[in-house]
Structure 1
């Protein structure tokens, strides 16, 4: 049974549920008024069907995936990827972290820590996730501690989701990176996969500006930025407010954009969900963890697509989201 906990502090409030340890809502107090940058699916709080995986039942602002991704993908135009993508889907997408009920370890008005024990056969023994308000600031800080059963490599990802404005191009995204790649399953015949600027991302024989979203016409599109060297800022140009996403780029050196603009049908989606997932990763897109831990076109260029875990020392991954007025 899912439980809910609310954080309250001088510069905001936030709600966390034990299903997938999901941040389902957050409001930041800015000088020009309350600001809610995170996405929230319209069905949150109404779906109880256990056949729908946990993070989809409560899909909203922030969760984690370990291992990140799944299988069952194809790359029909990119042989260098398609020869790697032969695995069937590996169960629940984004692993137990994104599906199971976590247990509240400790909680007060400023912070919550949740824990999740993994199955006995997993290389991961336990996860602990802490979400805290930053003193005197409109910001939330997140920490993920990974306890290993034995030494291993595994794909890992953080999954913050931010809302899309109604008007095309009115969320401006800025981040520095070495090179970007379109998703191997979405790269059209004749299109290059690689790009160097968010303003010029290959798509269907042309180029789109993914530094100003949502795209028009409305579409779903995944890209991965490799070798990220800065924080990401997102500015809602019509609202006088924005957010800064910061994370440990040594551990998670890539950032995947999941630009989904009502393009997913079926339950519980019903073509209703609009968001930009800005996902710090040590993973090759959202592919099977075996693709990420083995040789692939990203790590062959010196960009890690997995993390190393060790039972002798828990690994901690931190990220934060800070709101600001413009």
Structure 2
């Protein structure tokens, strides 16, 4: 059985799961009502056979160390193929098998409780001895005065290296098309996923570069607005906003509530938007999944360590796709999720 730690305070409540260190069942106060902004995979409690890896506990929010999973070079556009085929630089520690897990060992490992107080839960995970990562520590803290949660993730290295890192908040999308408005803050440029996350289904033009979220190029020509969700059509999309200012606001016009995510963009300079809009019809997705991943990253999409560490079309434009790690100098990432006035 998955061990769960629970926390309640006057402005909300949440669970933290030992398996994968996942945040779950988040409820926050919005005036006199409660809202549940986050997503949990529908197959977790509907009788679907237990899924392997990350899909077996895909919940509201979690860190990714390292971010992504290997893709084959032939699955992406020409401009990205060299990056995916690159070998790891001799100055970076060799990749371990845990580096090739979808979003890292953090998502499948069994976390332990360090301490729990009235307002916070601190958990930790020791990495396999062969990994360049030694330990990850995660703190989830309730704001005593507001419907807000403050997070921190500390990554401790065993060897000097670089790795793509990221955060993975998943928001539940409303049922009405276009009812959720995305206000991404400032960003230098955006890039469409170079491989199409669901081939034959995804609409955005693989590898295309854009400047506005309401003007994303399509593979059939023309553009479309990606700042209002869900789409009326079924699709699966991933885009990366690069050179961000570390702030994102989401307005749900259906429930008349707004949320704000802020993070340290000096460490995580991009924002990945995973738009799961009923586009995957195979099990366990079954054409029913509806969520938005709002994922601060230092990564090259979710294309894995090799692409992120190599020269690629994103870091060629001055945006880091990996974080330097060194023993004795932990990297700590702070971020916050809160209910705000629409």
The residue that corresponds to 2:217 in the other structure is: 202
Distance of 1:313 and 1:170 partners within structure 2: 43
The residue that corresponds to 1:135 in the other structure is: 144
Shift of 1:315: 1.1
Distance of 2:204 and 2:77 partners within structure 1: 9
The residue that corresponds to 2:2 in the other structure is: 2
Residues 136-194 of structure 1 deviation map (CA, whole Å, 9 limit, x = unaligned): 11001111111111211001110000011111111001122000000000288977701
The residue that corresponds to 2:290 in the other structure is: 274
Say which structure is richer in helix: 2
The residue that corresponds to 1:65 in the other structure is: 64
Distance of 2:281 and 2:81 partners within structure 1: 25
Matches within 5 A, 1:241-320: 241-320=257-336
Shift of 1:265: 3.7
Per the alignment, in what secondary structure is the counterpart of residue 312 of structure 1? coil
Distance of 2:207 and 2:156 partners within structure 1: 40
Distance of 1:87 and 1:295 partners within structure 2: 9
Shift of 1:50: 6.6
Q: CA RMSD in A?
A: 2.3
Per the alignment, in what secondary structure is the counterpart of residue 80 of structure 2? helix
198 and 184 in structure 1: CA distance in 2 versus 1, 3 angstrom threshold: same
Per the alignment, in what secondary structure is the counterpart of residue 29 of structure 1? strand
Residues 232-275 of structure 1 deviation map (CA, whole Å, 9 limit, x = unaligned): 00000121101000011000000000000122244432233210
The residue that corresponds to 1:184 in the other structure is: 194
Distance of 1:254 and 1:163 partners within structure 2: 21
Shift of 1:72: 2.4
Where structure 2 has 5 or more consecutive residues not aligned to the other structure, the ranges are 88-96, 197-201
The residue that corresponds to 1:37 in the other structure is: 37
Per the alignment, in what secondary structure is the counterpart of residue 300 of structure 1? helix
The residue that corresponds to 1:106 in the other structure is: 115
Matched, 1:117 2:117: no
Distance of 2:176 and 2:267 partners within structure 1: 35
266 and 87 in structure 1: CA distance in 2 versus 1, 3 angstrom threshold: farther
Greater Cα shift, 184-193 or 284-293 = 184-193
Count of matched residue positions in the alignment of Structure 1 and Structure 2: 325
The residue that corresponds to 1:15 in the other structure is: 15
Distance of 2:305 and 2:147 partners within structure 1: 35
3 and 203 in structure 1: CA distance in 2 versus 1, 3 angstrom threshold: same
311 and 110 in structure 1: CA distance in 2 versus 1, 3 angstrom threshold: same
Per the alignment, in what secondary structure is the counterpart of residue 82 of structure 1? helix
Residues 108-141 of structure 1 deviation map (CA, whole Å, 9 limit, x = unaligned): 3321111111111111000011111012110011
Contact 1:72 1:87 in 2 (8 A): no
Where structure 1 has 5 or more consecutive residues not aligned to the other structure, the ranges are none
Per the alignment, in what secondary structure is the counterpart of residue 235 of structure 2? coil
Distance of 1:148 and 1:31 partners within structure 2: 43
167 and 152 in structure 1: CA distance in 2 versus 1, 3 angstrom threshold: same
Per the alignment, in what secondary structure is the counterpart of residue 42 of structure 2? coil
Distance of 2:162 and 2:224 partners within structure 1: 35
Greater Cα shift, 100-109 or 180-189 = 180-189
